[in-house]
């Protein structure tokens, strides 16, 4: 049996490794068009800021290490150019030797990932208008910001990457401006919580421009400034585009594979596509929202790992399922932690729920223990059943633990009363006798 995996990183390597465990006799080939197959892309902002000093710290496996450990034939700098499902053949090109080949498969796993959005803005082709997605992107940005003459950086987009990179650039002593087209940064959280993030950014001397879209990048050969739709001109020695990504699915679509939400590859619970013996996983594939039951697309490394494992098992003849996702996410913004899980009110209404939002300011731990402070916790509940269906939090400490507890509660379809009844760990350095989750449950139960 020959299994071919197109693409590495989280999904592709997980698929290849699981396929090997599932079928020790299979021939497994992994093709990746870049030089790296397994690295921690989420760590790039911390590498650029020098918090992570060595590039090697981000490399999970070199191609040689992965090939040896999992007995997989790894071909880096090889790009798949076509899939012929009727013949079960792929065409690919050796990018270093400029030679083309064809290879038959029994099972195929597509893990082509996603790529940064590049808006059709005049001047976006200027030098130093950059995106951050790969190790090579990170190395280029790190090299550029190492020059003392590069001082003014403009970030376009106030999501996860934009906020993490604002901190990274500021840690390097740069002047940082952040432009967000929406009314608030971090659109994944409620306005009240987003405003707390914005206040903190301003405290850290980030020039913040919300509700403004970029109209043009100006400069000769190299970017020198950004002009917004309010005719504001912001000086820029470097611009980072962080407005999101889109699934890399052209190869799959050309082969006749059906696409779904946001043009991600449509898959079932086995990660099987619309074409027999072809599976898809990671940032190129959709998933199911566990609350609404509807297809969704949330490109996260944690999801890619799970999907890759399922796709690899099934491609090798196994029987595995990916249940779905809640879209749980967390990020560090200077001294704040921002976490979110589940769905917001608008999504809840679209899914047939009658949502009730409850916001509480709760202690991170006992008031008499050093480091005490409140953080903001917000829950979305279904008024008919009392179920918690969404949560978000912003604070300096205590956020990550509660978001994970609430993600588990949403997954288990717990109610507001259940949150109060949970037997959570208590000691003064970590919590209060009535934990923040319990307080949220109490207040919600009363309002329900």
165-191 pLDDT, tens digit per residue, is: 999 999 999 999 999 999 999 999 999
Residue 147: band (very low, low, confident or very high) from pLDDT cuts 50, 70, 90: confident
pLDDT of 413 strictly over 90: yes
Provide CB contacts within 8 A for 118, sequence distance 6+: 124, 131, 241
pLDDT tens, position by position, 213-267: 999 999 999 999 999 999 999 999 999 999 999 999 999 999 999 999 999 999 9
pLDDT on residue 198: 98
pLDDT of 148 strictly over 90: no
User: CA 23 to CA 313: how far, in whole Å?
Assistant: 8
Q: Which long-range contacts (CB under 8 A, 24 or more apart) does 418-425 make?
A: 419/388, 419/444, 420/445
pLDDT tens, position by position, 258-305: 999 999 999 999 999 999 999 999 999 999 999 999 999 999 999 999
- Asked if 284 is an active-site residue, the reply is no
Phi-psi sector, 367: left (phi>0), alpha (psi -120 to 50), beta: alpha
Beta bridge partners, 375, equal 362
Q: How many residues does the chain have?
A: 448
By percentage, how much of the chain surpasses pLDDT 90?
97
Average of per-residue pLDDT values in the chain: 96
Mean pLDDT of 417-445: 97
Mean pLDDT of 424-447: 97
Mean pLDDT of 438-442: 98
Mean pLDDT of 322-349: 96
Mean pLDDT of 336-348: 96
pLDDT of 149 strictly over 90: no
pLDDT tens, position by position, 59-96: 999 999 999 999 999 999 999 999 999 999 999 999 99
| Token pair in block for residue 55 | 């590039």
Mean pLDDT of 87-114: 96
pLDDT tens, position by position, 2-12: 999 999 999 99
Mean pLDDT of 392-409: 97
Q: Which of 40, 42, 52, 424 is catalytic?
A: 42
Closest listed residue to residue 350, CA positions, set 303, 289, 419? 289
Angle between helices 63-70 and 9-22 (to 10 degrees): 20
pLDDT on residue 114: 96
Provide CB contacts within 8 A for 260, sequence distance 6+: 266, 267, 286, 295, 297
Mean pLDDT of 341-356: 95
User: CA 11 to CA 272: how far, in whole Å?
Assistant: 14
Can you give the chain as a three-state secondary structure string?
CEEEEECCHHHHHHHHHHHHHHCCCCEEEEEECCCCCEECHHHHHHHHCCCCCCHHHHEEECHHHHHHHHCCEEEECEEEEEEECCCCEEEEEECCCCEEEEEECCEEEECCCEEECCCCCCCCCCECEECCCCHHHHHHHHHHHCCCCCCEEEEECCCHHHHHHHHHHHHCCCEEEEEECCCCCCCCCCHHHHHHHHHHHHHCCCEEEECCCEEEEEECCEEEEEEECCCCEEECCEEEECCCEEECCHHHHHCCCCECHHHCECCCCCCECCCCCEEECHHHECEEECCCCCEECCCCHHHHHHHHHHHHHHHCCCCCCCCCECCCEEEEECCEEEEEEECCHHHHHHCCCCEEEEEEEEECCCCCCCCCCEEEEEEEEECCCCEEEEEEEEECCCHHHHHHHHHHHHHCCCEHHHHHHCCCCCCCCCCCCCCHHHHHHHHHHHHC
Domains in the chain with CATH codes: 2-115+245-315 (3.50.50.60), 118-241 (3.50.50.60), 335-447 (3.50.50.60)
Beta bridge partners, 155, equal 178, 240
């Amino acid at each position: 049996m020959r299994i071919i995996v197109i693409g590495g990183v989280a999904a592709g390597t997980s698929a290849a490794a699981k396929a090997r465990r599932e079928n020790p006799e299979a021939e497994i080939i992994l093709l990746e068009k870049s030089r790296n197959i397994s690295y921690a892309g989420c760590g790039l902002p911390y590498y650029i800021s020098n918090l992570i000093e060595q590039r090697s710290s981000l490399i999970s496996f070199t191609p040689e290490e992965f090939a040896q450990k999992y007995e997989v034939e790894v071909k880096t700098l090889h790009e798949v150019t076509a899939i012929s499902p009727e013949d079960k053949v792929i065409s690919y090109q050796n990018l270093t030797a400029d030679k083309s080949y064809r290879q038959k498969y029994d099972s195929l796993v597509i893990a082509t990932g996603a790529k940064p959005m590049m808006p059709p803005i005049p001047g976006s082709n200027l030098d130093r208008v950059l995106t951050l997605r790969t190790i090579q992107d990170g190395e280029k940005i790190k090299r550029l910001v190492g020059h003392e003459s590069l001082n003014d950086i403009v970030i376009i987009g106030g999501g996860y990457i934009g906020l993490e990179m604002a901190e990274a650039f500021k840690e390097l002593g740069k002047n940082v401006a952040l432009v967000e087209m929406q009314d608030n940064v971090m659109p994944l959280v409620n306005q009240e919580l987003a405003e707390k993030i914005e206040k903190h950014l301003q405290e850290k001397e980030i020039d913040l421009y919300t509700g403004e879209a970029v109209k043009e990048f100006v400069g000769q050969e190299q970017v020198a400034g950004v002009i917004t739709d309010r005719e504001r001109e912001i000086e820029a020695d470097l611009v980072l585009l962080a407005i999101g990504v889109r699934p890399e699915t052209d190869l799959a679509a050309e082969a006749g594979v059906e696409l779904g939400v946001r043009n991600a590859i449509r898959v079932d619970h086995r990660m099987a596509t619309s074409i027999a013996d072809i599976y898809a996983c990671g940032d190129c594939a959709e998933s199911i929202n566990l609350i609404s039951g509807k297809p969704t697309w949330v490109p996260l490394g944690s999801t890619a790992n799970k999907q890759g494992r399922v796709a690899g098992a099934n491609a090798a003849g196994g029987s595995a399922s990916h249940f779905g996702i809640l879209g749980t996410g967390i990020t560090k913004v200077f001294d704040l932690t921002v976490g979110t899980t589940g769905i917001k009110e608008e999504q809840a209404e679209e899914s047939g729920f009658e949502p009730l939002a409850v916001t509480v300011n709760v202690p991170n731990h006992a008031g008499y223990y050093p480091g005490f402070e409140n953080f903001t916790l917000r829950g979305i509940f279904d008024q008919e059943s009392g179920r918690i269906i969404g949560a978000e939090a912003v604070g300096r400490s205590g956020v990550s633990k509660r978001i994970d507890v609430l993600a588990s509660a949403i997954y288990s379809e717990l109610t507001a009363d259940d949150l109060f009844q949970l037997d959570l760990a208590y000691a003064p350095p970590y919590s209060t006798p009535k934990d923040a989750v319990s307080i949220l449950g109490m207040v919600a139960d009363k309002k329900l």
